[in-house]
A and B are shown apart, each in its own frame.
Chain A
Amino acid sequence: MVVLLFVALFAPWIAPYDPWEMSIPFLGPSWEHILGTNDVGQDIFSELVFGARTSLLVGFTASLAITVMGSFLGAFAAYYGGWADRCIMVFINVALSVPSLPLIIVLSAFLKRSVWNIILCICLTGWVGTARIIRSQALRLKDMGFIRNCRTMGCSSLYIIIRHLLPNLKETILTKGMLSVASSMLTEASVSYLGLEPMTSKSWGTVLNDAFRAGGVFNGYWWWYLPPIACISLSAFCFLSLQEES
């Protein structure tokens, strides 16, 4: 995990080449290009190094948005109950019944190609799982003594949710957050593998997509298609392991 963050942060210093610089296409691994070059002569290793940035950017940003939105709406629904709870739950159930990956793919195909649009698409359906779990946990907490005391003391609902309810659910929120990072990274890889990312974007999914579309997979250029798979799997494994720890 530390290595991944380090690579993403210091990509310009770690990558031996500018990943957008083009030279001789379809070169195999050599000391000059340790993972060879792609169909437009870009250094594949440098693409992977810079790809870590996109993957982590999407993973962390989408996860942050999903966690904040899901936690707040879940806690809000549980605390207020009644119509507010019912409305939010209807919304959650509807969103849960929509297959998220196809929806993301369709939205990405019709929106302008951009990393931010992909993050937006991931967030659109990603928050509901978090909201549902936080709601159920918050329902348990809201009738406990310390919350009742706060209410008796005249604390505002917003204050109680932010200062008392959510902090007491931090383990659950953190766990769901970690899971969201992993799932967002995997979704980003899927979307970019389908060629829905910006054309010049470098992510592990786009490297894999290039390998597939330009014959790398069929021609057995393992140095082109295996490394991005390994990167995606390892990073997802890292976040899932962190979630276990937390």
Chain B
Amino acid sequence: MKRNRIGIKKMISQLLAVAVFAALTACSGKQETGKSEAGIVGTESTAEESINSIMASQESRESAGMPSSDGDVELLNVGCIYEFDVESPYCDLIKYLSYDSFMYANLVRYDENNEVVPCLCEKFEIAKDGTAVTFYFKEGIKWHDGQSLTMEDIEFSLNLWLDVLKPSVALRYMKDVEVLDENSIRVNMQSSCAYVFLRHMIMSSAGCVIYPKHIWEDVKDLKSFSGPDAMIGCGPFVYESYDEEAKVAYFHRFEDYHEGAPTIKRVAFHLYESPESVVMAYKNKEIDCMFQYAAGLAGIYVPALKELDYLDVGEEVNLGSSILEFNFKDELMQDLDIRNAVYAALDYELLAATGGGDYCVPGTKGVISPGNIGYAADMAVNKQNISEANQILDDAGYIDTDGDGLREKKDGTELKIMVSPAYSASKGTQYQRLAQVVVRDLEKVGIKVYLDEEVSNSDAWKARFSQNKDFQIAITGCSQGVAIIDTVNQGLVEKAGSDGTLTWNGTNNTPEYVEIFSRIINSRNPEEYAVAADESQRYLADQMVAITLGVESMFYPYNTADYTNWSARNGNGAFSYDTWFTVKAKQ
């Protein structure tokens, strides 16, 4: 009996061992990025065309990894730090891809020099007085479901922006939409802001793209409409599927795209949580390039990236920058002497090194970074001057009256400044480190400073910075996109525009500044824009509205071992519109 029992136990344990081994083997299968069947799990396509496309792409998947005979790229793996939470144009990833007309497209787009060029229109014309822009219809454009783009789609979309989406910035300057004839449509503005309007419509975070009327006209709640139909655009790439477990979104090229089919057959977006994960993905050769709107990798990762033979690090100058922003709603920060003393106290060399290692240098007075239209090249480079900072504070009456080594306010009460680093998935840690340097530097001139520890998540930061505006000094950033669209001033001015009532993102509403920014918005051409931008930089320097903490390079590494003919656009790196039509697999 005992022997039998032992035998049964032995058999059971052997069976268990086999089962465990089988399970482990099944689990340890290497994740085939975009090459496995997993890539098409998770969605149902309703349109016949979509099914055909997926079938076609399945065939191409079988040959993924091998260069095709025409040199087209079978599968490009792209890393990014976005969420794919919903199948709609309002999903984070799709929203930022739409800036470059990837799946959803717009009437205009940026070319490789960040100049506005036609995309879904034949041409556009800005009225001489800058109060209107006319778009001319382009024949032969198709939606991903096979239907043709019509003038009705464009009219429907522009009215959607105007009446429903109500975008938060310059698109609010739209007055009305007027169909002139069957081939042209005009957007009238409230002021002469048509030139800046075009830039804003390319990079609208509110989802201002051209929508297929036949799908969206009956949709009651735009933001909650999702699914395969909500993913039908007319850009060069068609949505295929999202693998939620692997966090990979797949797209394939649109063969009927009106500017010709891309040279990339399929794109797989690998979604990561942080820049560190993206660097790790490069190290593991999981990705060929990255897509992160206006936020490439920081210089601190370059030594590691340079070790990877298959990559070009893709260096480009960031036209935006990390900035220190004063809150003009705060009584203490309204004092120019305090702002000037802060400016003189900061160690810009250390701030630059902290922000970007060897690839960041101190910026200049006036916040606007070199390379931007209207950049004033004669501004002084930021430099620390502790004795000047002390002198300014002494002269202004901020002196240590109780002998504790810390200065008091003019009325003798405690002088205390809070420094709030912005919460950000991609740059939050950098802002925290910069804030620590700022605190250290201000302590050196006898100011009691403390770090804002309450901002530990995104909601807390929004409440502090945008809703309550109860910060004193914020360490944040001007993105490259904002810098290109309408300068860093967008984040610093509070109200501006034709009637001076439109709310912007900042806290400064002094009439002189509002007037300068209104002129930037209302500039009718690049020349007027440059003059107003130059003037704004001088105002920012004189009034010390904000301080740039470094002019940095950012990096968008791309695979040069397997692919060639990459194009780059400043702000998007190598994964840009032009690349989609030029990049080739090496034979």
Contacts and interface: CB of A to CB of B under 8 A. Distances in A.
Interface in A46-102: none
Nearest to B450: A200
A203 B451 CA distance: 18
Among B283, B298, B456, the one with the most A-chain Cβ atoms within 10 Å of its Cβ is B456
Scoring A20, A22, A110 by chain B CB atoms within 10 A of each residue's CB, the highest score goes to A22
Interface stretch (B105-113, B185-193, B430-438): B430-438
Nearest to B352: A25
A215 B304 contact: yes
Interface string B289-308: 00000000010110110000
B350 A40 contact: yes
B384 to A, nearest CB: 12
A211 B298 CA distance: 15
Nearest to B297: A215
Given A20-B440, A219-B304, A113 B453 contact: yes
B453 A114 contact: yes
A203 B201 CA distance: 47
A102 to B, nearest CB: 15
B276 A213 contact: yes
Interface string B448-473: 00010110110000000000000000
A196 B436 CA distance: 15
A158 interface: no
A199 interface: yes
Contact of A220 (B304, B421, B439): B304
Nearest to B440: A22
B57 interface: no
Contact of A219 (B280, B303, B436): B303
Given A218-B280, A220-B304, A109 B456 contact: yes
B304 A39 contact: no
Contact of A39 (B283, B300, B347, B435): B300
A218 B456 contact: no
Contacts of A110: 456-457
Nearest to A21: B440
A195 interface: yes
Contacts of A17: none
Contacts of A41: 350, 353
A214 interface: yes
A22 B350 contact: yes
Nearest to A41: B350
Contacts of A214: 300, 429, 433
Contact of A195 (B283, B350, B429, B437): B429
B437 A112 contact: no
A167 interface: no
Given A25-B354, A215-B357, A218-B280, A109 B300 contact: no
Contacts of A218: 276, 279-280, 283, 301, 303-304
A110 B457 CA distance: 7
Contacts of A198: 451, 453
B435 A26 contact: no
Interface string A209-240: 00011110111100000000000000000000
A40 B354 contact: yes
Given A40-B350, A110-B456, A114-B453, A200 B436 contact: yes
B459 to A, nearest CB: 9
Contact of B457 (A109, A200, A215, A219): A109
Contacts, number: 78
A222 to B, nearest CB: 13
Interface in A164-209: 195-196, 198-200
B357 to A, nearest CB: 7
A19 to B, nearest CB: 12
B354 A200 contact: no
Judged by DSSP, the binding face of B is helix
Contact of A215 (B303, B421, B456): B303
Contacts of B453: 112-114, 198-199
A118 to B, nearest CB: 12
B456 A40 contact: no
A29 B286 CA distance: 33
A29 to B, nearest CB: 16
A112 B453 CA distance: 6
Contacts of B279: 215, 218
Contacts of A195: 429, 432
Interface string B187-217: 0000000000000000000000000000000
A22 B301 contact: no
Contact of A112 (B280, B421, B454): B454
B567 to A, nearest CB: 27
A108 to B, nearest CB: 8
Interface string B248-285: 00000000000000000000000000001001100100
A199 B457 contact: no
A63 B421 CA distance: 33
Contacts of B301: 215, 218-219
Interface string A21-32: 010111000000
Contacts of A219: 300-301, 303-304
B88 to A, nearest CB: 28
Contacts of B451: 198-200
Interface string B342-368: 000001001001100100000000000
A105 to B, nearest CB: 11
A163 B304 CA distance: 62
A26 B353 contact: yes
Interface in B365-414: none
A210 to B, nearest CB: 8
Contacts of A25: 350, 353-354, 357
Most chain B beta carbons < 10 A, residue from A39, A41, A196, A218: A218
Scoring B276, B279, B451, B453 by chain A CB atoms within 10 A of each residue's CB, the highest score goes to B453
Contact of A22 (B357, B421, B437, B456): B437
Contacts of B276: 212-213, 217-218
Contacts of B456: 108-113, 196
Contact of A40 (B421, B437, B454): B437
Contacts of A109: 456-457
Contacts of A40: 350, 354, 433, 436-437
Interface centre among B354, B439, B457 (most CB of A within 10 A): B354
A167 B101 CA distance: 73
Contacts of A196: 456
Contacts of B439: 200
Nearest to B283: A218
Nearest to B282: A218
Contacts of A215: 279, 298, 300-301, 303-304, 357
A237 B122 CA distance: 71
Contacts of A200: 436, 439, 451
Nearest to A196: B456
Q: Which of A40, A112, A212 has the most CB of B within 10 A?
A: A40
A199 B353 contact: no
Which 3 residue pairs are nearest across A and B when measured between Cβ atoms? A218-B304, A215-B300, A113-B453
Given A39-B357, A40-B350, A40-B436, 7 more contacts: A26-B353, A41-B353, A113-B454, A196-B456, A200-B451, A213-B276, A220-B303
Interface of B: 276, 279-280, 283, 298, 300-301, 303-304, 347, 350, 353-354, 357, 421, 429, 432-433, 435-437, 439-440, 451, 453-454, 456-457
5 contacts: A26-B357, A39-B353, A110-B456, A112-B454, A200-B439
